[in-house]
Structure 1
Amino acid sequence: MENLTEMLKGSLEGCVLEIISRHETYGYEITRSLNQLGFTEVVEGTVYTILVRLEKKKLVNVEKKPSDMGPPRKFYSLNEAGRQELELFWEKWDFVSSKINVLKSI
């Protein structure tokens, strides 16, 4: 599908939170997961911007761990505030998607 960037803007943060909620992970791995799900236009720079924002909002725990490939990696895990934010994201998503589906069917 062509150029989903604008549609994704509001939901990408929630997608990143969902990926982090499943297991401790790092930026490149998150980008790769999104790409494998079909979000091929999502690049590392976008994901790292989101990760910085999540860190500033104190929604994730961050731990630096050694890497076999150069400098240490930042690993992200969801904390309680992040879990609450993710729950709120899915509530909003369910509301919006249900309304769009109703609109689509009339």
Structure 2
Amino acid sequence: MIEPETNVVAFKPRKAVTHHPKSLMERIYAAGSLSIRADDRATKMAAVMLQALGFLVIEEILADGTPRRFQRGEARQAMDRPWRLSKPAFSGTIGVPDGGGAFPA
């Protein structure tokens, strides 16, 4: 027996989140690190620019869940996996948030 109706509901595609690089950097420095979806190309391009200036550390999340750190210039070829953006180790360990969640004075 063939049913004319289906129970499949189509969801609207989500738009990629676009943030100014300054707010992106503020969010990462406040939290210590930030996960980026594999399809969020706008945020990834902003992160590549910030990494080139030395403000971020970019790690690719591999299929088994382990992170692999990118060197400068390597991130543009690896846009198909999720990333973790971290605060660099200016004052200790990579990814440790600033005290109080703000930039150091």
TM-score, length-scaled by structure 2: 0.42
More helix by percentage? 1
TM-score, length-scaled by structure 1: 0.42
